[in-house]
Structure 1
Amino acid sequence: MSASSFRSAFRLAVFCLSSGAVLGACSKAPEEPEFDHGLKKPLVRKLREELTETPCDKAKAQQLAQLLLDTGDMKGLTRVTDTFGEKCGPNIVLLQLAYTANARAGEKELALKAATALVTAQPDNASYRVWRGLSLEALGRTEETAAELQKAFDLQPGQRPILNALVKSYDALGKSCEALAAYQRFVENAKPSEAKSAEVQEQLQERAAKTSCPAQETVATPDASVAPEAATKP
């Protein structure tokens, strides 16, 4: 806010307090100053006007959201995403941009909201579950973090970044057996170059040596000579 704008707002506040008059201008809360989009301002205004006429135009909404992200207008981007979702249904690109913007800005609840919407839209996308897990972690919701990251790991058990995030969450909870199981599963599913890497093998051996875990149950393989019907009987 410029100095002149501040002085005007101050004079209005003093007048309202001293006059005791019931004035329309005095009864309204001061409006939030418009975000300065710099050289992008004309294009932002144009896209907003066009979306008023065609609110479900995905291309224009995504272009506007990207402009708002580029200029740092995180609140404006969130409003665009919410408005589009309410009128036209969720849009993956808008939700991705909203998550990115709010995660960067430290808006933890809003980042979680966007990540949750992405998971709802595409529950089998491991990346979105990681985003949701990281958002939960930022809010200190450790149990939920581990549960969400486990779901991501179940979808892609050969991905090292997901393994690292999951193990970190299990270590924070003191769940050493679950962390060890994650390493063991990773070794079974990862590329040989990753599974046999010195760092992974060292972690696996170190954790196995320090951890006493109950034996995992194994599923018995039916005898090949037994008829399928007999093998499935209780």
Structure 2
Amino acid sequence: MKRVTPLWVALITASACAATSLCANAGTSTVLATSFDCARASAAIEKLICRTPQLKQMDIELTRLYRLALTDDHSVPRPDKVEIEQRFWVDARNRCSAEAEPKACTIRSYAERAHQLRQGSVIARTKDPSRRTDGPVAFRCTGLNALIAVTYFNVEPRVVYLKWANTSATLVQVPNDSATQFNGKDYRGSYSFLQNGSDALFQIPGSGQMSCTVEPVG
């Protein structure tokens, strides 16, 4: 019987490339590519990703995080479960093509998955200079009993994923000359996250602005 090598084992060798987003091959350097071949893209979401620079950058970064998580024996969940979760995630991401706003759905999908991978793996959180994600960082806000976990996707435009209690929101950066501002909306209403250093103002549907401060580590 032919032995099938699990995907997470096969990708461990490639993780060294993913850690730097550069791979040496016959004396040349190749930038880490998307998780699929854009020249052969057939699914509607894959085509959307390939023609949207922001989504293409998010896919490349998520591929890097995923490969790193596969090398982390202490990741939560373990690497074999990370692989299974990734397969389910790809299926869910592809279903964004049936949504009213496929691009917004796909951005949310990548932001949430990046948060999960970074939260579960110390190796995925290494400060690689080529990384396009940071966090999660904890913010404590007046009026909220739970801390907000914030993960940043440093693409163009930037995306931030916020999770607290059983709620989450994905926001996109908008122009602001005095601070870093992210806006977004879902079926509940509109959100805004206005950050200036370690302080922020956060607004959720049905609430006024809440003052937030980064929670010290340790």
> TM-score, structure 2 length as denominator?
0.30
More strand by share: 2
Higher relative contact order (CA 8 A, sep 6+): 2
Which structure's CA Rg is the greater one? 1
> TM-score, structure 1 length as denominator?
0.28
More helix by share: 1
